[in-house]
Structure 1
């Protein structure tokens, strides 16, 4: 099979497998704060209030700590088997909702944090095996366009379970003020989502292992190190000058991730205006997100072919512009306190299905460009240490997300918008300088390539 055909085949297979892996995980993230709040209302002794946000914070902390362990795992386990292990842990997290209590719930979030970092790093490492530098951004955008169809699947599951198993609520009840999830509805929803994880495990196990000619992995070979060397390599990468230059970019990614996965979807659950008018609103949010990621894939693929290094500056600056526009619209169309608690308040512009879908579309578009941009950047920062670079990026992304999740019960939408906008602007201002440094380093390495061994570039980078 030709390398070109093989790349398209792998891209399709990885996209479909990731679709099933993320179907349960995405929907669980969208509704976790309201879902856990509903369990708290039924039995306050079983789980604490705002456990949804706090659980996400614990997950991100566990993910940060896992950044030191995951490259060690990948030293002995192939990326595709690491994805199988991570998907098993995703399934465990979703299964924890069958029996809600503090101990099981927070332990499952610790497991999810490790799984998240493991899958994040293994996914990009595996992708480098069948991608060249020229096709990496394209393959990443196409994969995420396919994978984000998981939003269609999770939305359809949400509609089916809600229409068939939602419990009737008294109009005068306090729980009518927000999107309440009964015990039966919760078990049905999590049961169907758990089954998608099981199918993803099977697909990941059948990933091919061939590496294409001139792959990104061949430019960034994964060296087998001892345990002591591996820990030292991870620690050195975290403070590597080229990594530190991109910290604002990673912080921006972490804030954006927490916003579109948890903070904004929670407003749909806690806003009385939206919850009463549109009980299926979370499904519509998922559909609009999917539309945004799909449109992004259709746009990025041809642009990547036409413009050299489109995955560096152009792709990220598109991300910055879409993010800033999204924060403005969200701020004026979302009740201020709906990020943290059930509220009957309105917003500067009346909350409606239309504005929710507009924001969701823009968030989906920005998520796709953000992920593709991150893939390109991390693959080029430190030669020979790609898996460590992805772990380092995940570390800084996780630190930011964990802080914002711990603070979310106290933050309004306007406070979120100010924080997000500030970090986004700083990231935009520092990004060009950081990319220029990397480009100069790469040019110098190419000039010296004829006189030095391939490993010398990494040796110099480590010093």
Structure 2
């Protein structure tokens, strides 16, 4: 395979993996606040009415802290495995809604902060392994062009899951959107499945570096002092 073809193949494959992962994440962004309010309305002791906002704060705090340490993983792991690790964190977050409670929700929000930091490091690092300074812009544009389709597909996923829940007799609590426990489990199980699919794709990303790639020019260090 020619280097240019190999670069395009890697960019497209990583874009597809990102698309699958972010479709699940973008879909839950549409509903997570309503989900938490719905659970609070039925069981106030299970989750707080405003825990969605507090959870977002927890996520951002752990994202900030993780950005200080996660880049060091590049000294020990190939970037595709860092991407896989990040996808596993996202999948854990999705699965936590199967047993939703206040403690587990805040813990999963902390894991979500780690997920964003890990994904960003893995994404940037892997991009430099198959891109040269001349092809970086093309590969990044191709990758993100595919990845950003997740906004569209997450909407499609939401329509499909809503239709399934309506036809299967799962209780819809109110006409203006509240979610029953059955719907919550169905929605977030689908998102977790997408997370697992993205993990599989990340695991099969090619390892080969392109000659003259940006990653070859970077020097690995053993400490922040270096």
Alignment TM-score > 0.5, same fold: yes
Number of aligned pairs? 222
Q: Does 1:13 align with 2:13?
A: yes
Higher relative contact order structure (alpha carbons within 8 Å, sequence separation ≥ 6)? 2
State the partner residue of 1:142: 142
Instruction: Give the deviation of 1:63 after TM superposition.
Output: 0.8
Report Cα offsets for 1:98-133 as digits up to 9, x if no partner.
121110000011111111101111111110111122
State the partner residue of 2:103: 103
Q: Does 1:224 align with 2:224?
A: no
Report Cα offsets for 1:365-394 as digits up to 9, x if no partner.
xxxxxxxxxxxxxxxxxxxxxxxxxxxxxx
Separation (CA, whole Å) in 2 of partners of 1:222 and 1:53:
40
Give runs of aligned pairs for residues 227-376 of structure 1, distance below 5 A.
Answer: 229-230=223-224, 232=225
Report Cα offsets for 1:141-178 as digits up to 9, x if no partner.
21111112223332222111112214345xxxxx55x4
Separation (CA, whole Å) in 2 of partners of 1:73 and 1:15:
22
**Which stretch of structure 1 is more off in the superposition, 83-92 or 206-215?**
206-215
Q: Is the 8 A contact 2:27 2:157 kept in 1?
A: no
Q: Is the 8 A contact 2:35 2:179 kept in 1?
A: yes
Report Cα offsets for 1:333-366 as digits up to 9, x if no partner.
xxxxxxxxxxxxxxxxxxxxxxxxxxxxxxxxxx
Separation (CA, whole Å) in 2 of partners of 1:179 and 1:53:
19
State the partner residue of 1:182: 180
TM-score (norm 1): 0.46
Separation (CA, whole Å) in 2 of partners of 1:207 and 1:48:
41
Q: Is the 8 A contact 2:16 2:147 kept in 1?
A: yes
- 5+ residue gaps, structure 2, are none
Instruction: Give the deviation of 1:81 after TM superposition.
Output: 0.6
Instruction: Give the deviation of 1:95 after TM superposition.
Output: 0.6
Q: Is the 8 A contact 2:125 2:215 kept in 1?
A: yes
Q: Is the 8 A contact 2:82 2:121 kept in 1?
A: no
Q: Is the 8 A contact 1:24 1:154 kept in 2?
A: yes
Q: Is the 8 A contact 1:157 1:189 kept in 2?
A: no
State the partner residue of 1:85: 85
Q: Is the 8 A contact 1:34 1:52 kept in 2?
A: no
Give runs of aligned pairs for residues 39-118 of structure 1, distance below 5 A.
Answer: 39-118=39-118
What is the alpha-carbon root mean square deviation over aligned residues?
Answer: 1.6
- 5+ residue gaps, structure 1, are 170-174, 234-463
Work out which of the two has the higher radius of gyration on C-alpha atoms and give 1 or 2: 1
Report Cα offsets for 1:61-80 as digits up to 9, x if no partner.
10111012202222111111
SS in 1 for 2:68: coil
State the partner residue of 2:192: 194
**Which stretch of structure 1 is more off in the superposition, 77-86 or 207-216?**
207-216
